C-alpha cells in the first residue's frame, strides 16, 4: 500500500470515508514522521500530538455513527503559528506573545474543522511573520529539507519545510509580501496566495492589514485547491472577508486549450539564469498544452516592491508601536530592524504610497485584461545558507511576488524543477480577482505535464 504521506488529500479523505484506514492511523503516521525529522528541520514549534489524536478519534467516531463527512474528513492540517487554534498559544515565534493562548479558533481553522480536518500542530515562522531566519528567537529557524544548510524561505518557513519532507499533507501559511509563495518555491511545493478577502483573516495576527492574506500550502495543485475550498466562506466578523470566493476543486481537471496566458517579461530579467531557463521551459509546456502565450508589459517591478515595502513597514510599525516603545529588546534583531523602519515614515509619505499603489494596481489590472492568467518567476535567487547573514540579506527579498499583494490578485507558486545544486525552483501563475479556479486549472495542467511533486528530499 502507498504510504500515507505520498497520497493526495482527496485519496486520504476517501480512504478514511470508505474505512480503508482510520483518521487515527493517518494522524499517527504523520506524527511518526514529525518525530523522526523535526529535530533536523525545526518545521514544527508545537506538535499537538494528543490533541490531534483525540480529534482523529472523534472523526472516526463520526464516521462510525454515519454522520455526514466533509471533504477533508480525517485529514491532518498544520497551522502557521500566527493563526489562532483555540486553547493553544499563538506565539508568532516571539518572546512578546509566547504565552498568549487563543480563546477561539481563527475563522479559517473553524472552516477547516467544519470540513473534517484534524489539526496536527503549529509550524515554525519568522518572528511575527517578518524578518528572516534568525537564531535569537524562542525556537530555532526551520531548515530546507533539500539541503539543511540552507533556509526554506519564509515567513511560512515551517509549513514549507514540513510539506516538502512529508511531515504533514497540508498546511496554512500567511502571505504579506510573498510569505506563502516564497517557501513554496524554495521547498518545491505549492503555495497559493488567494484573492484578498477570499479567506478570512480573523484570528490571524496581522503584519500589514492592507496586504495580509491567508494561503493554503500543499505538495500538489489539486490538494491545494481542495484545501482552499475548505478555507473559504464569508466571515461577518471580518470586514475584509468577501462572499465572492468560489470553490476551485471541482474544475481542476479542465484543459487549457485556447487560453491566453501572458508572460510578464519585465519581472523575469533579474533572476538567476537557471531560474529563467526553468520558467521558459514551463512556458513551453503550457504552449504545448494548447495555451496561447503572449507578452505582457507592466511598470517596473521595483516600483511595486518599493511601494510594497514602504506600506508593509509603516503598517507593521503601527501594530507593534506600543511593544517597540516598551519591549524593544524582546524582539529578535531581524524583526526589530524591519519593524522600526516603519516608524520613520510620516503620514503624508504613507498616503502618497497608497496613491501610487492605486496607479500601479490599475496598470496591473489593465495588463491582465486581455489574458486569462499571467506567468512570472517567483524568486530571483536560490535560498542561501541559513547561517550566512550577508547572503540572506543580499538575496532574501529579490523576488516578483509583492505586486500581487498590492493588487490582491490570486497568485500561485508551483515548482519548475531543480538547480544544478539540487535546490528547487518555481514560477508564479496569476489570475483575475476571485478566479482561483482558472489559476488552479492552469497550474494543475502544468503539474500533470511536469510532475515535480513526485520527487522527495533526501531525508
Q: Is residue 282 part of a domain?
A: yes
* Domain housing 269: 4-454
β partners of residue 118: 76
Q: Is residue 86 part of a domain?
A: yes
Other C-beta atoms lying within 10 Å of the C-beta of residue 6: 13
Catalytic annotation, pick one of 80, 122, 193, 338: 80
Please report the pLDDT score of residue 353 as a whole number: 98
Active-site annotation holds for 384: no
Mean pLDDT calculated for residue range 370-374: 97
The string of pLDDT tens digits covering residues 113-168 is 999 999 999 999 999 999 999 999 999 999 999 999 999 999 999 999 999 999 99
Q: Is residue 459 part of a domain?
A: no
Go through 196-223 and write b for each residue having 16 or more CB atoms within 10 A of its CB, e for each that does not. bbbbbbbbbbbbbebbbbbbbbbbbbbb
Query: How far apart (Å, rounded) are the C-alpha atoms in residues 208 and 189?
Result: 25
Structural domains in the chain (count):
1
Q: Which residue has the cell 524583526?
A: 335
Catalytic annotation, pick one of 179, 200, 316, 379: 179
Active-site annotation holds for 159: no
Q: Is residue 95 part of a domain?
A: yes
The string of pLDDT tens digits covering residues 318-361 is 999 999 999 999 999 999 999 999 999 999 999 999 999 999 99
Q: Is residue 63 part of a domain?
A: yes
Please report the pLDDT score of residue 459 as a whole number: 81
Specify whether the CB–CB gap between 48 and 119 falls below 8 A.
yes
Count of alpha carbons within 13 Å of 378, Cβ hemisphere only?
Answer: 36
The string of pLDDT tens digits covering residues 287-327 is 999 999 999 999 999 999 999 999 999 999 999 999 999 99
Q: Is residue 229 part of a domain?
A: yes
Catalytic annotation, pick one of 155, 200, 316, 384: 155
Active-site annotation holds for 155: yes
Q: What is the CATH number of the domain that holds 390?
A: 3.90.1300.10
Q: Is residue 108 part of a domain?
A: yes
* pTM confidence score: 0.98
The dihedrals phi and psi of 420, each to the nearest 5 degrees, come to: -60, -25
Q: Is residue 297 part of a domain?
A: yes
The string of pLDDT tens digits covering residues 211-233 is 999 999 999 999 999 999 999 99
The string of pLDDT tens digits covering residues 379-431 is 999 999 999 999 999 999 999 999 999 999 999 999 999 999 999 999 999 99
Amino acid at each position: 500500500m502507498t504510504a500515507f504521506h505520498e497520497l493526495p488529500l482527496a485519496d486520504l479523505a476517501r480512504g478514511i470515508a470508505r474505512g480503508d484506514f482510520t483518521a487515527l492511523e493517518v494522524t499517527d503516521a504523520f506524527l511518526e514522521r514529525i518525530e523522526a525529522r523535526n529535530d533536523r528541520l525545526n518545521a514544527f514549534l508545537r506538535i499537538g500530538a494528543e490533541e490531534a489524536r483525540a480529534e482523529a478519534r472523534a472523526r472516526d467516531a463520526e464516521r462510525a455513527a454515519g454522520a455526514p463527512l466533509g471533504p477533508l474528513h480525517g485529514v491532518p492540517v498544520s497551522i502557521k503559528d500566527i493563526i489562532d487554534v483555540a486553547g493553544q498559544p499563538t506565539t508568532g515565534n516571539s518572546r512578546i506573545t509566547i504565552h498568549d493562548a487563543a480563546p477561539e479558533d481563527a475563522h479559517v481553522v473553524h472552516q477547516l474543522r467544519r470540513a473534517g480536518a484534524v489539526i496536527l500542530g503549529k509550524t515554525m515562522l519568522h518572528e511575527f511573520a517578518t524578518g528572516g531566519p534568525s537564531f535569537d528567537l524562542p525556537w530555532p529557524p526551520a531548515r530546507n529539507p533539500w539541503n539543511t544548510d540552507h533556509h526554506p524561505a519564509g515567513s511560512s518557513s515551517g509549513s514549507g519545510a514540513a510539506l516538502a519532507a512529508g511531515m504533514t499533507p497540508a498546511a496554512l501559511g500567511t502571505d504579506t509580501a510573498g510569505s506563502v509563495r516564497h517557501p513554496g518555491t524554495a521547498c518545491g511545493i505549492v503555495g497559493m496566495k488567494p484573492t484578498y478577502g477570499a479567506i478570512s483573516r480573523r484570528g490571524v495576527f496581522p503584519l500589514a492589514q492592507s496586504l495580509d492574506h491567508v494561503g493554503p500550502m500543499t505538495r500538489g495543485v489539486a490538494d491545494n485547491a481542495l484545501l482552499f475550498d475548505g478555507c473559504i466562506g464569508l466571515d461577518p466578523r471580518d470586514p475584509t472577508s468577501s462572499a465572492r470566493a468560489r470553490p476551485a476543486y471541482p474544475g481542476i481537471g479542465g484543459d487549457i486549450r485556447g487560453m491566453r496566458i501572458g508572460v510578464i517579461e519585465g519581472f523575469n530579467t533579474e533572476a538567476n539564469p537557471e531560474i529563467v531557463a526553468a520558467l521558459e521551459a514551463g512556458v513551453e509546456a503550457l504552449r504545448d498544452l494548447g495555451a496561447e502565450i503572449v507578452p505582457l508589459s507592466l511598470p517596473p517591478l521595483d516600483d511595486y516592491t518599493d511601494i510594497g515595502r514602504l506600506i508593509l513597514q509603516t503598517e507593521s510599525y503601527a501594530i507593534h508601536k506600543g511593544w517597540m516603545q516598551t519591549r524593544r529588546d524582546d524582539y529578535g534583531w531581524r524583526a526589530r530592524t524591519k519593524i522600526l523602519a516603519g516608524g520613520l515614515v510620516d503620514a503624508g509619505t504613507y498616503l502618497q504610497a497608497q496613491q501610487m499603489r492605486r496607479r500601479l494596481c490599475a496598470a496591473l489590472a489593465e495588463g491582465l485584461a486581455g489574458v486569462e492568467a499571467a506567468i512570472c518567476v517567483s524568486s530571483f535567487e536560490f535560498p542561501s545558507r541559513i547561517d550566512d547573514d550577508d547572503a540572506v540579506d543580499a538575496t532574501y527579498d529579490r523576488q516578483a511576488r509583492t505586486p500581487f499583494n498590492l493588487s490582491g490578485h490570486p497568485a500561485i507558486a508551483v515548482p519548475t524543477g531543480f538547480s544544478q545544486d539540487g535546490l528547487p525552483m518555481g514560477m508564479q501563475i496569476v489570475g483575475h480577482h476571485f478566479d482561483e479556479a482558472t489559476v488552479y486549472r492552469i497550474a494543475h495542467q502544468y503539474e500533470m505535464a511536469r510532475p515535480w511533486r513526485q520527487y522527495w528530499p533526501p531525508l
